[in-house]
Amino acid sequence: MAARVFSGALHGVDAIPIVVEVDLMKRLPGICIVGLAASAVKENAERMRSAVTSLFKEFPAKRVVVNLAPADVKKDGTAFDLPMALGVLAADDRIPQDRLSGLLAVGELALDGELRPIRGALSFALLAHATGRTLVLPKVNAAAAALVPGVSVVGANALGEIVAWLRGERDLPEEPANMGIAPPSGLDLAEVKGHAVAKQALEIAAAGAHHLLLIGPPGCGKSMLARRLPTLLPPMTFSEAFEATRVHSAAGLLERDATLLAERPFRSPHHSVSVAGLVGDQSLRPGEVSLAHHGVLFLDEAPEFTRSSIEVLRQPLEEGVVRLSKARGSVDYPAAITVVLACNPCPCGYRGAYTCRCADGDVSRYLRRLSGPILDRIDLYVEMSALTSRELLESPSGERSTTVRDRVVAARARQHERGQETPNSRLDAAELSKFAPLSEDVRDLLARAGETKMLSSRATTRAIKVARTIADVEGAEEIGVRHAAVALGFRPPLALG
């Protein structure tokens, strides 16, 4: 009689249910895996054979047929090792089949039967909770999986421990939830000298989740400021931390000693990154954009990125989601991110600061690598200059991140009190009309600015959102003319596009 073991497969950042069916047939010994299995799954045959042999000194001398259902879904990864081994042992009457009905098993096996870590423990825990099953997985992943409220998680270090547990020979206790967190970065805004306007823009970006462009010569502090933006953002709620951690878990990037991210993610890919590296590859593994979910995506030297890599950000900048279609299927990745772009004012980097070696045509071509549609989606533009050595050495330390964060938290609280469920930058047209009404003076200012600066409808709308955030930071109930003027001052100049 065929044995059935319930398992799961990662599809993007979600886990989908998979049933592993195992039958032992009186034919020439061998292992046959069917059900649209990728090469990593088919290689499981020898790992499973060696792990079972190391435990029982022999492997069933029969034809082992493994079916992964549903058969029309591509299966990849090594998490099927454990359910396949349990299915073989159940079909061979080495363990009771009735004990498997309430389990969802995932895990990679070593040749000696040791269980190795897997990707996506949180996603599998959510699947186990949704199906009402007990999750059985490697011990190293158990603490992270136990974060899902209401799910039963059993962790083990080796196949033999699970077999003994299923046979009633030993006990495997449920894993308690462990709220261990990754260590904080320790960065502080006070470490950045000068740049008052850039710091103001950083505070506005944090208060309203606005996208930011920093332009200035090398060494002026663009990267320092960008890396300190997460320290200004409000602390993550449990829901946000859980969502961000789930993405990192699905990508296999979660620290072994941590079960929950403590700070908002900060991702800074190299400018040679591919489109797949940014939004997700053929295996449907999350890219850098999704890894920055509820955090910051920093693109340093933005014009050096390929045109296609920059343009792929249009949808995340506008909608906060990545919709990816590959041969293996279509998935939606979460991407509620704040994007920070940084670039030099010219190819050599020293125009306006030191002796510049670039011709005007070279400068124009360099800056035009950032297209108009991308710049239209940027809310805040800040032009920075390099500090002199005297300014650097004699300037006093500025405000600490905790002080600025308190104002950011207060601004976000005002948004929440108005009934907003999202930060200002993510308000749709109806919500913007409701939460950011404009006086006649403000309307007139925006209309005149739209004509002189040739603002698109999107740029005008984004200026209103920034003005709403500036008013929130200052504790103002309504958007004033000064708030709108400051917001318009942060719009990218026409020459940049």
Interval 128-156: pLDDT, tens: 999 999 999 999 999 889 989 889 999 99
Backbone torsion region of residue 89, taken as left when φ is above 0, otherwise alpha when ψ lies between -120 and 50, otherwise beta: alpha
pLDDT at 183 > cutoff 70:
no
Tokens at 339, concatenated:
């994007």
Q: What span, in angstroms and rounded, lies between the C-alpha atoms of 202 and 229?
A: 7
303, 363 Cβ separation under 8 angstroms: no
User: How much is the pLDDT for 187?
Assistant: 87
Domains (ranges, CATH) in the chain? 3-166 (3.30.230.10), 189-496 (3.40.50.300)
H or E segment to which residue 14 belongs:
strand 14-25
Q: What is the pLDDT of residues 205-217, one digit of tens each?
A: 999 999 999 999 9
The pLDDT > 90 percentage for the chain reads 63
Q: Report strand pairing: 212-215 vs 338-343.
A: parallel
Across 295-438, the runs of DSSP E, i.e. the strands, are 296-299, 321-326, 329-334, 338-343, 380-383
pLDDT higher than 80, residue 283: no
Which pTM does this prediction carry? 0.88
Residue 270 neighbours by CB distance under 10 Å: 12
Q: Across the chain, what does the average pLDDT equal? A: 90
| Average of per-residue pLDDT across 238-252 | 90
Peptide bond into 70 cis (omega under 30): yes
Q: Express as a percent the part of the chain with pLDDT over 70.
A: 96
Q: Give me the helices (H) in 230-349, please.
A: 238-250, 275-279, 288-291, 307-311, 314-319
Average pLDDT on 248-272 reads 84
Residue linked to tokens 């907003």: 420
d(CA 140, CA 398): 43
Over residues 252-278, mean pLDDT:
85
Residue 306 has pLDDT above 50, yes or no: yes
DSSP state of 228: T
DSSP code of residue 181: B
Closest CA to 287 of 325, 341, 248: 248
Contact 12, 333 (CB under 8 A): yes
The per-residue pLDDT for 497 is: 47
166 contacts 96 by C-beta, under 8 angstroms? yes
Report the C-alpha gap between 124 and 108 in whole angstroms. Answer: 14
The tokens for 278 are 């940014």
Mean pLDDT of 350-356: 78
